[in-house]
Structure 1
């Protein structure tokens, strides 16, 4: 983990200098999930589908340990396939921001791909038999893209991994909510919702929901500024106002 870079990025608010969308609450959610995993000895790569210029991806990469890869998956040069313009992946901007704020390219892998063309085994050469512990779904925001990317996330995710779905309940992107609901109403869905706040929905493996929910309710919710229990697609879920982010 790049401790000084992480501190500069979060407490020093360098993340605000990177073009993109990432609120303080979302940072707190990511940091909390990472702390839980590291306390439990969970290891594995981190991955984002749809990186834009890397504002969230940089945080993932800073949290990765020395033996963990950070995978950035985007259309990059194939922006003609970006049908809804929910972001504009730029490889040059990503590498520049990595050099500026992370200062280490060694474990970062930029993958040019359309997630609609990928399957459960498409990243085998990069994952090397490992499962992803932190995964951001921030690619195309259509219903079809979200359904596809959640299925991929389920296949790639560690048993104790966490998925962060971008633009959940964002009125500008109704396809995200439609995709999530359609996914969760499919009896074969492999991911389950935990909580949402600051534009992110947190999901975990369906079989690990009880354990993740126990962590959420006993350890994370008490730190929140506010939270409300809601029923969502037959799951106990929480709308949360996360605390201010801290790397301590």
Structure 2
């Protein structure tokens, strides 16, 4: 896992397309380490895999007797809502399951359990309370994001953590709407957030925001940049340290300059923060 974290942090080496950045790669591994150290057991679930960038990281998390399940429609032609169909056409054209598998097997000896189909079917294959970590990065309409939040709550067991991608993306506000709707019930407890992902739990006896912030402070490359009060809870904003961000950004600039040097090659699907 340490090698993969270094890989994600080096734009010159990282050739797996996707939207997992060093901040969240490290923070997700911090959450995993805390769960393992505290003895919290359970499987790992990812809703929305694209080409495997985050699934590869999650594949290092399961301990003996645990597993990773990945859900995506890939190129199956599975029916989706009109909103999801438009999103898939705009952002994920040409997505192939074989691309995901090739990327994943570069870093792991075998594939995870893969469910090819809409995330609404996960209730039939993921047992209630069986997971300790659920990463949501599926459909971004309000209806799908809301259903995925419900799937996560059902799937998570004691001390389970949900990680919600794109919670702050202005062009897909349905994710934020679904997240804050859950928060306003008073049951979802925020732990930490980055520009890309929001980390929370439904278990008041599980990990705390303070534990996560303290663990972040021991991890090179990231830092808790400040605590934000969210109603009766507080959560830490996590960013890259200034020096690591400068090195990462310089690497991105070097990659982009090579891509554009010959007169207009398209940029890879990643940005840095």
- Name the TM-score, length of structure 2 as normaliser: 0.74
Structure 1 residue runs without a partner (length 5+) = 1-5
CA distance in 2 between partners of 1:114 and 1:184 (Å): 25
The runs of 4+ residues in structure 1 deviating greater than 4 Å are: 86-89, 221-224, 242-245
Matching residue within 197, 200, 208 for 1:200: 197
Q: 1:87 to 1:193 in 2, by over 3 A?
A: farther
Matching residue within 36, 44, 60 for 1:38: 36
Alignment RMSD, CA only?
2.6
The 8 Å contact of residues 75 and 113 in structure 1, kept in 2 or not, is answered as yes
1:103 is matched with 109
Give the 3-state SS of the residue equivalent to 1:207 in structure 2. Answer: coil
Give the 3-state SS of the residue equivalent to 2:59 in structure 1. Answer: helix
Matching residue within 3, 7, 12 for 1:8: 3
CA distance in 1 between partners of 2:183 and 2:223 (Å): 28
Give the 3-state SS of the residue equivalent to 2:36 in structure 1. Answer: helix
Give the drift of 1:221.
4.9
Aligned length: 230
2:119 is matched with 115
Structure 2 residue runs without a partner (length 5+) = 246-273
1:141 aligns with 2:140: yes
Q: What's the CA shift string for 1:188-222, capped at 9, x where partnerless?
A: x5x3221111401001124336x422312443357
Give the 3-state SS of the residue equivalent to 1:62 in structure 2. Answer: coil
Greater shift, 54-63 or 221-230, is seen at: 221-230
Matching residue within 199, 215, 220 for 1:219: 215
- Name the TM-score, length of structure 1 as normaliser: 0.81
What does 1:148-227 align with in structure 2 at a 5 Å threshold?
148-186=147-185, 189=187, 191-208=188-205, 211-221=207-217, 224-227=222-225
The 8 Å contact of residues 132 and 161 in structure 1, kept in 2 or not, is answered as yes
